Structure 1
Amino acid sequence: MNPIQKLRHFAFQDSSIVATPLVGSTAATAIDDSLGQREFAIKVAPKAIFRLLTYIVCTLTALSVASHVGHYVFGFELIELVILDLERNIPTSYAGLCLALCGVLLGVIALHKSSVRDRFTLAWSGLSFLFFMLALDEIVSLHERTILILRNMLNTSGVLYFAWVIPGVVFVLLFAATYFKFWRSLPSRTRNLFLFSGLIFLSGALGMEMVGGFTATSIGQLNLVYALVTTVEEFLEKMGVVFFIYALLLYIKTSMGSVKVNFLNE
């Protein structure tokens, strides 16, 4: 049996997300006659995905702010299920899934680059691994377990109250130096979107984290001001990931066109 009889065609096109039969080639018609099946395409619109994810982030942020205001201003019980800065809840699950999606998309690109022997295949693979690690960290909060250890070791306070930002800044600088040539090799639109998304993410993950450290040192953490600072931090992180997903989908669309998955007989 020809392996193409198990073919499924995943096409990245700028239209709404639908699953439609692909009819219009002799090969497709032959598959219909022999198996009673049709090739189908899942059409992914980068702009539609971007709008959807942005809507989700804004909705989660609004719910988190409303819960904080209700708690600190009106004395209602805090709804922990929707608080952006807490763990094991809806926003954390969403963030982990989006980071994992980045890992998958980067992995798809890496496989394509490997097939054409691109010199930056390893760089794409490294990015994929990094985002899977970020997804894991988001779910189990690995970096936050180092805060108290580093704070006691380095005796930090103020903007460095959350002491993990020190190795975080070092890692970002090393990463930037390592990936500079890769970044310069990207198409201008992709390059700009990568930079923009990275700056938004880091302004939250590092910038607002340091603002949060200063706020925590100055007035504590159990107040509306600190809650809003952490909400802005999480919002920026999540929007940075949204822009990065958009950049990856556009890159796949313009540089690869479509992704085919063949299911082979065993």
Structure 2
Amino acid sequence: MGNTRWTADGRTALERRAGVVFLALAAVGCLLVALSLVLLRITPWDVLRDPSSPLVQLLDVRAEGSLHTWFNVCVLSSGAVLHGCAGALAHRAGWEAWPWALTAAALALLSMDDLLAVHERLEPLGRALGAGQGGLHFAWVLPGLLLAVGLAATAVVAARKLPSSASRWLLVGVAALLAAAVGLESVGGLVLDSVGDGALYVLVSHAEELIETLAAAALLCAAVSAVRLGAGPGAGFEVGYAHPVRRAS
């Protein structure tokens, strides 16, 4: 843990590890979305056509409490823990920990929202504000814009203080999340109002859910890219903060 420069080779290895983690999580997300599309929309089995079927509720990525929701909650919760750990390592290495604390709190709140569908409880408020048609078919999007701005501001403020690789993962993750949760949600509302709950809406809604999963994976990888694992004394290993330059003591 001395005051040494974190080498380019070390950064490359960390970025590669973060990429592998992202691809693994993305593969699971793609599998869950594919199962939802193929089993629920293409197969001829009647049991998979009934929205009240427990199997449908488990596999449909659009359903609250589905396997896909559980996976997203796990990724976001794990990301919150890893961001907290990265903050602790940053503090030990002499860097500011508050940006990581900020992002850890944001991921914890996103996880809670995914689990409890808190954003959908804003629907009555959105309708009171005049939303409910077209791009605002899902009325919660209107008051949710304020939360989106808050999340974006949090990411920008934190990213300025994080290692460059972590900043990229963070900003890409937040941008993708907002594009899906606000942008594609609004597109889905337009589709519902214009052509109804048909094949086009199914594709838009599944794309939204997939991008949200990819965003959650990117947010987790922000912390993965900042935690250095290496050989320690004896047969042990060392965990450190992978900022490009160590501060002099």
TM range (shorter): 0.7 to 0.9
Instruction: State the number of aligned residues.
Output: 214
Identity in percent: 25
Q: Is residue 68–residue 227 contact of structure 1 (8 Å, CA) maintained in 2?
A: no
Shift of 1:230: 0.8
Check if 1:191 corresponds to 2:167: yes
* Matching of residue 102 in structure 1 with residue 79 in structure 2: yes
TM-score for the superposition, normalised by structure 1: 0.71
Deviation at 1:14, TM superposition (A): 5.4
TM-score (norm 2): 0.75
The alpha-carbon distance between structure 1 residues 143 and 230, as it changes in their structure 2 partners (threshold 3 A), is same
Which residue is equivalent to 1:24?
A: none
Conserved 8 A contact 2:126-2:141: no
Separation of aligned partners in 2, 1:228 and 1:172: 24
Letter in structure 2 aligned against 1:235: L
Q: Superposed, which structure 2 residues align to 1:52-71 within 5 Å? A: 52-70=24-42
Q: Which protein is bigger by CA-based radius of gyration?
A: 1
Question: Which letter maps to 2:38?
Answer: A
Which of 207, 232, 239 pairs up with 2:183? 207
1:150-209 CA-partner distances (Å, limit 9, x unpaired): 224424311111122223322232343455343223333322222222222222111110
Of 120, 123, 138, 1:162 maps to: 138
**Aligned residue number for residue 123 of structure 1:** 99
* Partner deviation per Cα, 1:8-47 (whole Å, 9 max, x = no partner): xxxxx959xxxxxxxxxxxxxxxxxxxxxxxxxxxx9434
Say whether 1:252 aligns with 2:227. Answer: yes
**Alignment RMSD (CA, Å):** 2.8
Alpha-carbon contact 1:61-1:231 (below 8 Å) kept: yes
Q: Tell me, in whole angstroms, the C-alpha distance in 1 between the residues paired with 2:223 and 2:130.
A: 39
Q: What are the ranges of 5 or more consecutive residues in structure 1 without an aligned counterpart?
A: 1-12, 16-43, 260-266
> Structure 1 residue 116: deviation in Å?
4.7
Q: Quickly say closer, same or farther: Cα 1:205–1:179, change in 2 above 3 A.
A: closer
> What pairs up with 1:83-102 in 2 under 5 angstroms?
83-102=60-79
Q: What residue number does 2:4 align with? A: none
CA distance in 1, matches of 2:178, 2:157: 20
Match of residue 233, structure 1, among 196, 204, 208: 208
Seen in structure 2, the aligned counterparts of structure 1 residues 202 and 177 have a Cα distance that, compared at 3 Å, is closer
Given candidates 194, 201, 208, the residue that maps to 1:218 is 194
Runs of 4+ in 1 over 6 A off after TM superposition: none
The 1:175–1:48 alpha-carbon spacing in structure 2 relative to 1, beyond 3 Å, is closer
Aligned residue for 1:185, secondary structure, equals coil
Contact 1:68 1:224 survives alignment (8 Å): no
Alignment of 1:16-95 (within 5 A): 45-70=17-42, 74=44, 76=46, 77-78=48-49, 79-95=56-72
Describe the shift of the 1:192–1:118 C-alpha distance in structure 2 as closer, same or farther (beyond 3 A).
same
Q: For 1:57, what is the secondary structure of its paired residue?
A: helix
Mapped to 1, the partners of 2:105 and 2:72 lie a distance apart of 16
